[in-house]
Structure 1
Amino acid sequence: MSRWIAALPMYNVTPQHDALWRALLRDTLAAFSQSGGPREVDLPAAIPDDLLTLWRRPDLLLSQTCGFPYRMLGVADSVNLLATPAFDAEGCEGGFYRSTIVVSARAWDTGAVSLAACRGLRAACNGQDSHSGMNALRHAVAPLARDGRFFSSVAWVGSHLNALRALSAGEAEVAAIDCVTLAYVRDALPERLRDIRSIGMSAAAPGLPFIASRNLPDQQAALLRDALDTACAADSQRARTLRLRGFVRLAAADYARIERYADEARALGYPELR
């Protein structure tokens, strides 16, 4: 491979978070180059719109994907699982995380204080390929659905921040938000949560994995894992702001839990979030 590419498209909740993740990426690549990795790696100034294409690139040195496309959309067939971040956030334990189920303050005030009480409300969801926003919520709702339906409507809004905005603007009443994203919002954008109430959490799932193309030799993949650890430890203030405890080594098979949640929802007659 003549030239590699690296990009971290997840958890860039604010410009500060984006800058810190980019700095961690640069430090990782620097540590990797010192142990024999490539010295020149392309770092796109902007994250590509087509993330599935990015994650499947044969020259992908390092990126982070969501567990749903990794397990359910075939990304795992093209990549090596390097590591999974462990975060210091409510809902996280080791390399596992949960989604926080939230409602608008208006819905809370009118009785939506549990997921069961959200029947017939409008949901906002970041995307159909998201575990945290869609799959986790579908799994939580499935035992409560009737004839394959629970919400009056579902709006696909493109991001967790947009889902929170939709709740605050009165365009929807309920959403599931990745607990790491929610912690970042609470830290940096607390005003976005003024009209938001938490009513529960989803089942735990393995966190968003860091990946590399299978064209990266196994020996170099092991060194890249070590470089992630080195970069995390290099700046304690950065790690605190990112709520990053470190990286754990999960097995690819651990991500079968995400598929199991989808299967359990289907078995209960709830194959789609609706």
Structure 2
Amino acid sequence: MTACSFLGMYDLPAQASANDRLWTAIATRLIAHGIAAPRHLTRDRAPADLWNDPALLFGQACGYPLVSRALPLRILALPDYDAPGCAKGRHRSLIVTRAADPAATLADFRGRRAAINDPASNTGMNLFRAVVAPVAQGNRFFADVVVTGSHRDSIRAILNDEADLAAIDAVTHAGLARFEPDLVRGLRIVAETPSSPTLPFVTARSTPVDTVAALRIALKEAMADPALDDARATLFLRGIVAVPPDAFAALGALGAMAATAAALGYPNLA
């Protein structure tokens, strides 16, 4: 079984080399301790496939499917991002529409069209549902919900008048604003979602305990390495936040948001 690694959650073309450098620094430290770490990141497999692969040595996962689908993963740490809408180990989504859209509040979008990147996404769906649920008042809110496959494509759907509203991960939005400004220039922020834990760095649940310890050390060292200052800045990474022994408790709020939406009569974003 050949180990694999994945940092595809925030991997815009302008960020790819920074992710490569970060992983190389981690892998070099692991190899020095006799751990067979892959030299290159995996970019040709779907995230959900990798999250279920017992050979996943290091990766990053969306928190909502991690708790709602009981993915076979162990949490290593929470990334701490230096971007608008982020705090220590927490982030949120920005609810966006076209800049020229006359709707002023979230309630004004009743009967309009929503775009989501994935039905299991925390930032694209779960946090979105959490802010819509109180406004929906137990009724269907959107005329249509289109699944786009990515936050970037949700933005394109809005700009192409194929949707009117979407929840965009704050870290993704910051990356697009810096590296692809033309894509977000035509957007306007309508609202912000509640904050939630950032997308955790993970390893397969089957990873040996001594390897897990080595991963945490290598990750901590890479976050403090001055030679990686520019790579971390490209990824908006300020550092990491250690998680408690019961790491999944840190993600409990994600399930609580879903439960609250259901209690309000809005179990599905619709």
Q: TM-score, normalised by structure 2?
A: 0.93
Matched, 1:264 2:255: no
What is the one-letter code of the residue matched to 2:238? R
Question: Among 225, 232, 247, which residue is 1:239 paired with?
Answer: 232
Q: Give CA-to-partner distance per residue, 1:201-230, whole Å, 9 cap, x none.
A: 101111101111122222321221121122
Moved more, 208-217 or 137-146: 208-217
Q: Give CA-to-partner distance per residue, 1:101-152, whole Å, 9 cap, x none.
A: 1111232xx2x22212222221111110101010101010000114431111
Distance 2:127 2:172 in 1: 15
Identity %: 36
Residues 1:147 and 1:214: Cα distance change in structure 2 (over 3 Å): closer
1:97 alignment partner in structure 2: 91
Mark the runs of 5 or more structure 2 residues left unpaired by the alignment.
none
Question: Among 120, 128, 131, which residue is 1:129 paired with?
Answer: 120
**Does the CA-based 8 Å contact 2:77-2:240 persist in structure 1?**
yes
**Does the CA-based 8 Å contact 1:103-1:167 persist in structure 2?**
yes
**Does the CA-based 8 Å contact 1:91-1:97 persist in structure 2?**
yes
CA RMSD, 1 decimal: 1.5
Q: Give CA-to-partner distance per residue, 1:190-249, whole Å, 9 cap, x none.
A: 111121001221011111011111222223212211211222233111111111001111
**Does the CA-based 8 Å contact 2:138-2:264 persist in structure 1?**
no
Q: TM-score, normalised by structure 1?
A: 0.92
1:84, CA displacement in angstroms?
Answer: 1.1
**Does the CA-based 8 Å contact 2:30-2:37 persist in structure 1?**
no
2:22 alignment partner in structure 1: 24
1:153 alignment partner in structure 2: 144
Question: Among 209, 213, 217, which residue is 1:218 paired with?
Answer: 209
**Does the CA-based 8 Å contact 2:81-2:88 persist in structure 1?**
yes
Moved more, 143-152 or 89-98: 143-152
2:10 alignment partner in structure 1: 11
Q: Give CA-to-partner distance per residue, 1:74-116, whole Å, 9 cap, x none.
A: 11xx221101110001111111110011111232xx2x22212
What is the one-letter code of the residue matched to 2:44? I
Question: Among 41, 55, 61, which residue is 1:59 paired with?
Answer: 55
**Does the CA-based 8 Å contact 2:67-2:251 persist in structure 1?**
yes
Question: Among 181, 195, 212, which residue is 2:172 paired with?
Answer: 181
Residues 1:29 and 1:201: Cα distance change in structure 2 (over 3 Å): same
Distance 1:258 1:147 in 2: 20
Matched, 1:85 2:85: no
1:153, CA displacement in angstroms?
Answer: 1.0
User: Aligned residues, how many?
Assistant: 265
Distance 1:31 1:128 in 2: 37
Q: Secondary structure at the match of 1:106?
A: coil
Mark the runs of 5 or more structure 1 residues left unpaired by the alignment.
none
What is the one-letter code of the residue matched to 2:144? S
Residues 1:178 and 1:222: Cα distance change in structure 2 (over 3 Å): same
Matched, 1:116 2:112: no
Q: Secondary structure at the match of 1:158?
A: coil
